[in-house]
Amino acid sequence: MSDVTKPSRSAQPEPPPGPSQQPAHGDEPHAEAFASRLNWLRAGVLGANDGIASVAGIVIGVAGATTSRNPIVTAGLAGLVAGAVSMALGEYVSVSSQRDSEQALLAQERRELAETPDEELAELAAIYQTKGLRPETARQVAVELTAHDALGAHLDAELHINPDEFANPWHAATASALSFSIGGLLPLLAIVLPPASARVAVTFVAALLALTLAGAISAGISGGSVRRATARMVIGGAVGLTATFAVGHLFGAVV
């Protein structure tokens, strides 16, 4: 009987994963999509921050001039609506301009691929060569990517844009207006609900607490220092609110 034993089934190496198998961490988001979501979240936090600071400054300024409830509410509502419309319009124009620019680059790249495919292939190979690939390897990569999706390869390597992730200006405008409105609603409620003697103090504290939260969220998104971010927000907010109250008090007394 031979002393040589056959290797057990468990000792045999596992076959390499086939194309149908899911890669490791397949459920993780792509870098571009993840960065896009972070940008939207950051924009939402900044919009809410603008709403808090703007509306709080308006209502506290008017409250410094009068204790009458109606002028304060009217000014606060007007500031809330005007700010939301302004934010939406600005975001719509900005994103529309960016989208127009990206679409123009997309059309130009498509035209160049149709008219000068050899030059575009050489350009793509040169891009990968500058990333550290050997000339022959860069050429092979460029050839294979061009055969698979020439336009997508150039948009990714040359222009760093993804047509599937073009921002929608209407979505951006709606999100900006909504975030501003949510942020501005807090100081408006804070100035309306308490008794007249406590309106300014309650609104001042509520606005600073909301700015602290916005600063902490913003720092968490960007990976910065929470202490520095919240300190900037609180100090800036306190200075702004104090200034608007002083203006309302001084000019209200004169009028």
Residue given tokens 């100090």 in the structure block: 235
Rounded to 5 degrees, φ, ψ at 161 are -130, 155
Question: Side chain identity at 210, as an amino acid letter?
Answer: A
Burial 115-128 (b: 16+ CB within 10 A, else e): eeeeebbeebbebb
Residue 214 has pLDDT above 90, yes or no: no
% of residues, the chain, pLDDT over 90:
39
% of residues, the chain, pLDDT over 70:
82
Residue 253 has pLDDT above 60, yes or no: no
Mean per-residue pLDDT, 153-167: 81
Rounded to 5 degrees, φ, ψ at 135 are -55, -45
Global pTM?
0.72
Residue 82 has pLDDT above 90, yes or no: yes
Long-range contacts, 207-212 (Cβ 8 Å, 24+): 207/52, 207/53, 207/56, 207/60, 207/237, 207/241, 208/234, 208/237, 208/238, 208/241, 210/52, 210/183, 210/186, 211/49, 211/52, 211/53, 211/236, 211/237
